Amino acid sequence: MDAVQGDPRSAARPSDACRTRVVLDIVGDKWSLLVVRNLKDGPRRFTELKRAIDGISQRMLTVTLRSLERDGILTRTVHDVMPPHVSYELTEIGVTLREATAPLLEWSVAHLARIDEARAVYDARRDPSMTS
Amino acid sequence: MDAVQGDPRSAARPSDACRTRVVLDIVGDKWSLLVVRNLKDGPRRFTELKRAIDGISQRMLTVTLRSLERDGILTRTVHDVMPPHVSYELTEIGVTLREATAPLLEWSVAHLARIDEARAVYDARRDPSMTS
DNA sequence: CCGTATCCAGATGGATACTG
DNA sequence: CAGTATCCATCTGGATACGG
């Protein structure tokens, strides 16, 4: 809680932790990144998102959208017609966030195979499926 | 589980979810990103990391390091001397991962104020601290 | 010094049923 | 259509104690 004393070569100052925390608080959960990516081509309705994001429950879509709305990543617009019609759209900040996540997504595409391989090697050493 | 049929304009195919999942499985937890960032200047010992990352418990540092090792993000090297000495270092892949996360960190720095503001506005509307 | 083991509280998220 | 409410299983991570 107090200021860092001692040698400053040690890497992380509290603000460092703070920055990573901010990002993870926004997109570190199970669905946020997926929602943000699904809004890349413009506004989408609740049900469209529900169908596009495979496996998400109604509750989690609502929770995720509310959280992103609170953070100013997207806007929620109610069109008061029958039947009810609600659309979600990235804000300017939301667009910049999506762009900032792009390298990470590309990274995962580029290295997915290597990661699977590394995991297999690691697991094989610890759990060699050997008899007795 | 089966192939997507119907109109392809709907944004996310299963592989999309898969990619985001891969990334979040690696750095989506509470400490991984912090550990990766703390290894940016070269190898660090367990205790160095422990002191550098404020608030992390011994258990979580171990768990996080094991996970990153399994994914091929870092290497664990035991120097068999007295007292015991273990050092951790980013692999080539680990370095690329750190680079891929940089935009996201910069994004959080650039937009932190706007996000706080957005949250305050949102909360003020829903919880106006009004009497009855 | 560098862990592992155990226990436990709180957060996360899925299923289901109900509403304007 | 677009939610909300409730309940519950699972996961995450912190505290503590102990071991090589």
Q: Residue B70 is nearest to which of A23, A29, A119, comparing CB atoms?
A: A119
Which of the residue ranges A5-14, A92-101, A103-112, B61-70 would you say has the lowest mean pLDDT?
A5-14
Question: Looking at the domain that runs over B3-130, which CATH code has it been given?
Answer: 1.10.10.10
Q: A109: burial class by Cβ within 10 Å (0-12, 13-18, 19+)?
A: middle
State yes or no: pLDDT of B131 exceeds 60: no
Cβ-based neighbours of B111, under 8 Å, separated by 6 or more: A93, A96, A97
Residue A10 tokens, joined: 């040690």
Determine the pLDDT at residue A80: 87
Determine the pLDDT at residue B82: 82
The DSSP code for B8 is T
3-class SS at B14?
helix
From chain A, pick out residues whose CB is under 8 angstroms from the CB of B26: 115
Q: Where are the domains of chain A?
A: 3-130
Look at the pTM and tell me if it is higher than 0.75: yes
- Nearest nt by C1' to B62 Cα: C3
Interchain contact, B108 vs A20, CB within 8 Å: yes
If you count them, how many residues does chain B have?
132
Instruction: List, for residues A16-73, the tens digit of each pLDDT value.
Output: 788 899 999 999 999 999 999 999 999 999 999 999 999 999 999 999 999 999 999 9
The DSSP code for B97 is H
The whole-number Å distance from A128's CA to C3's C1' is 23
- pLDDT grade, residue B128 (50/70/90)? low
| Nearest residue to B24 (alpha-carbon basis) of A34, A113, A18, A55 | A34
What residues are paired with B87 via a beta bridge?
A: B45, B77
The DSSP code for B75 is E
- Answer whether any strand C atom is within 7 A of the Cβ of A59: yes
State which nucleotides on strand D lie below 7 Å from a protein beta carbon. 1-6, 12-17, 20
Map tokens 């370095």 to a residue: B95
Q: A26: burial class by Cβ within 10 Å (0-12, 13-18, 19+)?
A: buried
- Answer whether any strand C atom is within 7 A of the Cβ of A34: no
Query: Which residues have CB under 7 A from strand D?
Result: A 45-48, 58-59, 62, 65-66, 76, 83-87; B 29-31, 55-60, 63, 84
State yes or no: pLDDT of B50 exceeds 90: yes
DSSP assignments along B77-96, one per residue: EEE-SSS-EEEEEE-HHHHH
**Nearest residue of A to residue B121 by CA position?**
A70
Main-chain phi, psi angles of B80, to 5 degrees? -85, 70
State yes or no: pLDDT of A113 exceeds 50: yes
Interchain contact, A34 vs B54, CB within 8 Å: no
Q: How far apart are CA A75 and CA A91, in angstroms?
A: 6
DSSP assignments along A93-130, one per residue: HHHHHHHHHHHHHHHHHHHHHHHHHHHHHHHHHH----
Q: Residue A22 is nearest to which of B22, B101, B108, comparing CB atoms?
A: B108
The whole-number Å distance from A63's CA to D2's C1' is 13
- Answer whether any strand C atom is within 7 A of the Cβ of A85: no
